[in-house]
Structure 1
Amino acid sequence: MNKKIRFSDINMMNDYQEERWGYRVFELAVTNILNDELLQKKFPSLNEAFFQKVDEIIAPLQLLLYPVISCFSKDPDVLSQWRAYADDGRGFALGFNGVALNSMPVTLLEVEYDQKIQIEEMKTALLAAHIRNLESGNDFGSQFRTDCQLIGAWKVGFKNSAFREEKEVRSLHMLDVCVDGDRPRLVDAGGEALGKEVNGEQVGYRVQDGAIIAYVDIPIPHLDNAPLIQEVWVGPKNINGIGNIVYFMSECGLKDYAIHQSKASYR
């Protein structure tokens, strides 16, 4: 068992609105702020010129930092997910240790599906960026750029409410867009894990349904006395017995996990 998690190009997920949805939330939040008389009176420089500066960083962000994600769910037993992601109910769902996932060079984002809340959260982030910029002398310097890049990256935590039942938590990792001679390439520069800088991994490419998808496999750090897999859920059409699971997991060096059978009466 490699003990790695695959992170794939966010633009190639099953939700074709992935990046566009978050940008639309940004636009709605800006409109809301510009129409808020109290905010405009309190912060006169919170104007179209300021948001143009923000947009100049957010809109082309993928030309500098390219998001790859791995998707999880807080609910282990949802029929639509068994059908869509687990071989039509014949597969397994693994319950990962959250501490282990959070120890990787990633950002964990609990997806928000309510657009009103999305807009409020975006407004708060934009207002904070504006205040920090004022405190630094309204210089639109490195701190402002960092704040905008974070807003641009973390907006992938907003999704269409039609996906609400997935109760998704997504793990986000950013690749660098580098120019090697005259060739633009995606490069993993690594990041911080358990307080230490870790090296990046090789970026790979796979083909699925005719689409070329960039990915990177990131190792999960070893944690003492903390099992990597805490639960194994058996799909409603899964024919494996307990022994099949136990022997396989043991071969992978995994123990101290609970086994659950899906309650979905699906065949």
Structure 2
Amino acid sequence: MIYHYCSSEAFHAIITSGTLRLSSMTMSNDAAEGRWLTDLLLAMCRDEGLIESQIALVKEELDELPTMQDGLGICFSAIPDLLSQWRGYADDGFGLCLGFSESIVNEWLEQMPKVIDLVRIEYSKTKAESTLAPYVRKIMEYSKSGVFSRLQITPGASTESTLRNIEKLNAEFREFQLWLLELTDDMYKFKNPAFSEEHEWRLLAPFTSNENRKFEVRPTRSALKPFETVEFRSTHPAILNEVILGPKHTTPEDIIKTFVISQGYSKINVRRSAATYR
């Protein structure tokens, strides 16, 4: 089972629509989203001896990755009735928690026409370093080939060999930029070990905004946040197994159960949080 903590309003929207909303990861409330992995990559490159001017150049390219390819996602926890989740994601305990069958979620995703993955978030620094090791080796190879020194070559140089060298290094740097995009596949799969108690899972889909990509936006005070909705109820009504009422939620359990079943879902279990949080 995987559990999605949400407000009462979000719970009502999910149940009545039979959909989940996958939202921009880079525009989430966590300003460090995806950056723990890239910061670790820079630290590993520094340990390998990459000089600071080249570290700055790689960092500049890493900072651009989210603008080139974002991720759309929705978050879950492997732990039901977790107080920190009630506080942080379910309206300070006034919301609810939806329990989804992991096996049926995977079955549903296999039948989806678009690429969406169910991913367990990794908090292990050792595993992150193992994932990043090939990137570090490749970056050091680029450094040794002189690609990161391309801007130090005077563009006004007139000799034919120098101009050819400029063209070659610029082409290799563009190759480096395209290669670095591969890191976006892992950016949203790792988090700082300090968050390990969340036991987080995510539905993740790649997202590149362009005029041919259809998506919606949700207005907030400071931004318009992209999202896509994915429908699950019509094909997999048994995907929802359980509803847990937050420690401050007051709706009687039988009303929640009747409401959920009336919306076309299979038999579910409804219970109240055991957390004594007021």
TM score, norm. by length of structure 2: 0.66
Q: Matches of 1:108 and 1:126 in 2, distance apart?
A: 27
Cα distance, 1:9 vs structure 2: 2.1
* Aligned equivalent of 1:4: 19
Cα distance, 1:256 vs structure 2: 2.4
Which structure is higher in RCO with an 8 Å CA cutoff and minimum separation 6?
Answer: 2
Q: Matches of 2:46 and 2:234 in 1, distance apart?
A: 46
* Aligned equivalent of 2:130: 120
* Aligned equivalent of 2:166: none
SS in 1 for 2:226: strand
Cα distance, 1:66 vs structure 2: 2.2
CA contact (8 A) 1:94 1:231 kept: yes
Summarize the Cα distance change of 1:59–1:100 in structure 2 as closer, same or farther, 3 Å threshold: farther
Q: Matches of 1:107 and 1:148 in 2, distance apart?
A: 21
* Residue 81 of structure 2 is aligned to residue 77 of structure 1: yes
* Aligned equivalent of 2:231: 220
- Aligned pair count reads 227
1:90-169 equivalence runs, <5 A? 90-102=94-106, 103=109, 104=112, 105-123=115-133, 148-169=180-201
* Residue 277 of structure 2 is aligned to residue 262 of structure 1: no
* Aligned equivalent of 1:40: none
Summarize the Cα distance change of 1:226–1:249 in structure 2 as closer, same or farther, 3 Å threshold: closer
CA contact (8 A) 2:25 2:73 kept: yes
| Higher helix fraction (1 or 2) | 2
* Aligned equivalent of 2:219: 206
SS in 2 for 1:11: coil
Summarize the Cα distance change of 1:163–1:226 in structure 2 as closer, same or farther, 3 Å threshold: same
Unaligned runs of 5+ in 2: 1-15, 50-54, 141-171
| Higher strand fraction (1 or 2) | 1
Q: For 2:264, which of 231, 253, 261 is the aligned residue?
A: 253
Unaligned runs of 5+ in 1: 36-50, 131-139, 181-186, 190-200
* Aligned equivalent of 1:174: 206
Identity among equivalent positions (%) equals 26
- Over the aligned positions, Cα root-mean-square deviation in angstroms equals 3.7
Which amino acid in structure 2 is aligned with residue 7 of structure 1? Answer: L
Summarize the Cα distance change of 1:112–1:204 in structure 2 as closer, same or farther, 3 Å threshold: same
Q: Which of structures 1 and 2 has the bigger CA Rg?
A: 2
Q: Matches of 2:202 and 2:276 in 1, distance apart?
A: 28
SS in 1 for 2:81: coil
Summarize the Cα distance change of 1:4–1:217 in structure 2 as closer, same or farther, 3 Å threshold: farther
SS in 2 for 1:205: strand
* Aligned equivalent of 1:24: 39
Q: Matches of 1:223 and 1:124 in 2, distance apart?
A: 43
CA contact (8 A) 2:19 2:232 kept: no
